[in-house]
Amino acid sequence: MTIVVPSGNTGRVRTARRVLWDRTIDSLDEYVSRRGGAGLGVARTRSAEELIVELEASGLRGRGGAGFPTGRKWRTMVENRSTTEATTVIVNGAEGEPGTFKDRSIIRRCPYHVIEGALIAALAVGADHIVFGLKHSFQREVVRMRAAIDEITAAGWAEGISMEVFEGPDEYLYGEETALLEAIDGRYPFPRLAPPFRRGVERHGRRATGKAVGSGVSSRVELAGPQEELIAPPALVDNVETLANVPRIMARGSGWFRTLGTEKSPGTITVTVTGASRRHGVAEVMMGTTLRKVIQMVGGGARRGHRIKGVLPGVANGIVPAELLDTPVTYEDMQAIGSGVGSGGFIVLDETVDMPALAAGVSRFLGVESCGQCTPCKLGGLELADALRTVSLSEAAEHHMQEVVTRSSTVSDRARCYLAHQHQVVMQSILGRYGHEFDAHVAGTTGPVEPYLIAELIDIEDGVAQLDERFLEKQPDWSFDELSTGKNPADRLGQNRFGEWSFRP
C-alpha cells in the first residue's frame, strides 16, 4: 500500500548549514556560543521600517509552500495594524504536507533560532504575543519548544512579548493559515475568507482586554468590515523555516543571505526526500540545486536496479517526470515546468509505481481532508477519488474516466481555499503526463493496483520514513469510526468545542 520502503542505508550528505544545524543545540548557552542572539541584538538597534527593508532586500520567500515574499508580508501587516489591538505573530509549525518533515527536523535540532526569528518579526510588525502553532501529536517538538521558550524568557530576550505553544489537531487543513487561526480561536480548522492581515486571533485580544475580539463566531463570517477591522487585529503567519532564516539575515545582512541561491530564489531550502529513493532524509540545500542532485545527495538516488520515473512535490504541485529532473529547485524554474517547490518535500517514484494508483491515493487524501464548506471540493473531490480508485483497480468503464476528467476540472469551482486547487493541479498533471496508464487500466491491459497510501509523515528514523497509517481509517467526516456518517466536517460550523477535534486514536 505504501509506495516503497527503502533499504535503510544512511549516507553522508554535504549540504548548506543555515537553518538545519549540523547537531542538536541543547541549551541557550550553547546557542549563544554559536553566535545565536546576534540577529535579535541588531534588530533591537533598528526601527521596524529598517527591519522590513532589510528583509525585503534579502528576497526571503515563505517556506511554508506558497513562496510569498516575507518582507512584503510583514509590510502588509504594518499597513493593516489595528488602531486598538496589537498584532499577533503565529509560527506555522503544523507541517502536514505529505512527504515533508523539515520543520520538525529544524525544531528538534535548534528551536532557538525559530524563536529568535519570531521575536524579530514581533518587533517589526508591532506584536506583543507569539503563538507557536504545533500539533498535539508533535509532543517531542512541543516539549522542546516550551523548554526553549522558558529559557529565552528567563534570559530576558522576550521583553514585553509573551509566547505560548498551541497544540492543534492532526487535520491537514490545520496548516492552512486561516484554518490555523480558527483552531487557535478554539474552533475546527475550517478556512476563512478573510486573510490573516484582515482578521487575526481572538484569544490574545481577550487576554489583553478582557473581552472577546477577533474572528467572531465561526469561519462562515465573510471579509471583515471597517468596524470589525478595528477590533480584529491582524496576525502575521510565517512558517517555521521562514522564521529560522531571519536572525542571520539581520545579523549578517541581506547581501550575505543572497550569496546562495538565485536572484528570485535566494538562500537555501530544507528538503525532505522520501518514496522510492535508497534512503529517506532531510537536508538543507542551496536553492538552485537540481532536483536530480537533491535526490542523489539526500536520498542516495534510485534504489539499486531501479530507475526514477518521476517526483511528486507533496500534494500541492504538479508531478515532475524523469526527463525534467535537471530542473533547478527554485520557485521560478519549478513553476516554469508546471510544478512548484512547495514545502520542499519530494516523493520519489520509480518504474514500479502505478500512476493511476498514485492519483487515487492523492485524491483520497485531499477528498478526506477537505472540510466541505465548498461542495465541488468535498463531494466532487470524493467522487473523483472513488472514480480513480475504480480505474486503478481496473474495474472502470469509459464513463469512469470521463468522471475523472470532469471532476478534475470542476473540483476547484468556487473554492474558498487552495486545497481544492491543489487537487486540480496534481490530478491534471498526472493525467496529462501519464494518461496512457489510465487508458491501460480501463482497457484491462494493466492489472489492478490498490490506491497508494498518501499521508502525513510521523517521523524519519534510520533513513526510513514512517507514514501516518491511521489515515487509512480516517473517514470523510474526519471521524475514525467504522462507517462515515456521510456528513461534512463543516456541518460542525459554529460549534466552539475547543480541544475536541479528532486527535487520532
Ligand X SMILES: Cc1cc2nc3c(=O)[nH]c(=O)nc-3n(C[C@H](O)[C@H](O)[C@H](O)COP(=O)(O)O)c2cc1C
> In the complex, which residues of this chain contact ligand X (CB under 6 A)?
62-66, 68, 70, 92, 94-97, 172-173, 175-177, 237-239, 242, 417-419
Q: How near is the Cβ of 178 to ligand SF4 at its closest, in Å?
A: 9
DSSP element (H, E) containing 91: strand 87-92
Least separation in angstroms between residue 369's CB and ligand X is 7
Q: Which three cell numbers stand for residue 255?
A: 547581501
By CB under 6 A, the count of residues binding ligand SF4 is 14
Residue of 378, 400, 433, 474 that binds ligand SF4 (CB under 6 A) = 378
Q: Is 420 in the site for ligand SF4 (CB under 6 A)?
A: yes
Are 278 and 303 spatial neighbours (Cβ–Cβ below 8 Å)?
yes
Cβ nearer to ligand X, comparing 202 with 241? 241
Question: Shortest approach of ligand SF4 to residue 371 CB, angstroms?
Answer: 4
DSSP letter assigned to residue 212: -
Q: Which stretch binds ligand SF4 (CB under 6 A): 59-67, 336-344, 412-420, 471-479?
A: 412-420
- Minimum CB–partner distance for residue 136 and ligand X (Å): 14
Question: Least distance in Å: CB of 375 to ligand SF4?
Answer: 8
Given a contact cutoff of 8 angstroms between Cβ atoms, the answer to whether 165 and 118 are in contact is no
Residue 417 lies near ligand SF4 (rule: CB under 6 A) = yes
Give the helix/strand (H/E) hosting 137.
none
The CB-of-362 to ligand SF4 minimum distance in angstroms stands at 15
Q: Which is closer to ligand X, CB of 68 or CB of 393?
A: 68
> Which of 331, 490, 474 lies closest to 416, judged by CA?
490
Nearer to ligand SF4, 288 or 476 (CB): 476
Burial of 410 (0-12, 13-18, 19+ CB in 10 A): middle
From the list ligand SF4, ligand X, none, partner contacted by residue 278 (C-beta under 5 to 8 A by kind): none
Give Dmax over CA atoms of the chain in angstroms: 70
Q: Quick one: 245 or 370, whose CB is closer to ligand SF4?
A: 370
Starting at the edge strand that comes first in sequence, how are the strands of the sheet with 345-350 ordered?
A: 281-286, 268-275, 345-350, 308-312, 320-321
Gap between the Cα atoms of 196 and 484, Å rounded: 33
Closest approach, Cβ 195 to ligand SF4, in A, equals 14
| Residue found by looking up cell 525532505 in the block | 272
Q: Which of 279, 416, 474, 492 binds ligand SF4 (CB under 6 A)?
A: 416
Residue number with CB closer to ligand X (13 or 66) = 66
3-state secondary structure of 88: strand
| Residue 194 within binding range of ligand SF4, rule CB under 6 A | no
- Contacting ligand SF4 (CB under 6 A), which of 43, 60, 131, 371? 371
415 binds ligand SF4 (CB under 6 A): yes
- Interatomic CA distance for residues 140 and 108, integer angstroms: 8
Instruction: Candidates 70-78, 262-270, 356-364, 366-374: pick the segment binding ligand SF4 (CB under 6 A).
Output: 366-374
Stretch that binds ligand SF4, among 85-93, 203-211, 368-376, 461-469 (CB under 6 A): 368-376
Query: Using CA atoms, how far apart are residues 214 and 201, in angstroms rounded to an integer?
Result: 5
Strands 308-312 and 345-350: antiparallel
CA distances from 48 to 43, 45, 128, 196, 308 (A): 8, 10, 14, 20, 48
**Residue 385 in contact with ligand SF4, rule: CB under 6 A:** no
CA–CA dist 2, 439 (Å, integer): 23
Rounded Cα distance, 171 and 467, in Å: 15
Residue 377: contacted member of ligand SF4, ligand X, none (CB under 5 to 8 Å, by partner type): ligand SF4
Site stretch for ligand SF4 (CB under 6 A), options 52-60, 314-322, 372-380, 477-485? 372-380
| Per-residue exposure over 274-301, b if at least 16 CB sit within 10 Å of its own CB, e if not | bbbbbbbbbbbbbbbbbbbbbbbbbbbb
370 binds ligand SF4 (CB under 6 A): yes
Task: Tell how far CA 253 is from the center of its chain.
Answer: 27
Q: Which is nearer to ligand SF4, 244 or 377 (CB)?
A: 377
Q: Which grid coordinates belong to 8? A: 535503510
Residue from 65, 99, 169, 191 touching ligand SF4 (CB under 6 A): that is: 191
List the single partner that 371 binds among ligand X, ligand SF4, none, CB under 5 to 8 Å by kind.
ligand SF4
Look at the alpha carbons of 202, 85, 417, 345 in this order and tell me if their dihedral is positive or negative: negative
Region 124-183 residues binding ligand SF4, contact defined as CB under 6 A: 173
State which of residues 372, 380, 451, 463 lies at the interface with ligand SF4 (CB under 6 A): 372
User: Which residue from 233, 275, 294, 333 is spatially nearest to 463, judged by alpha carbons?
Assistant: 275
Q: Which does 467 bind (CB under 5 to 8 A by kind): ligand SF4, ligand X, none?
A: none
> Rounded to whole angstroms, how far apart are CA atoms 277 and 264?
29
- Per CB under 6 A, the list member of 118, 283, 377, 431 interacting with ligand SF4 is 377
370 binds, among ligand SF4, ligand X, none (CB under 5 to 8 A by kind): ligand SF4
Query: Residue 191 CB, nearest distance to ligand SF4 (Å)?
Result: 4
Positions touching ligand SF4 (CB under 6 A) are 173, 191, 370-374, 377-378, 415-417, 419-420
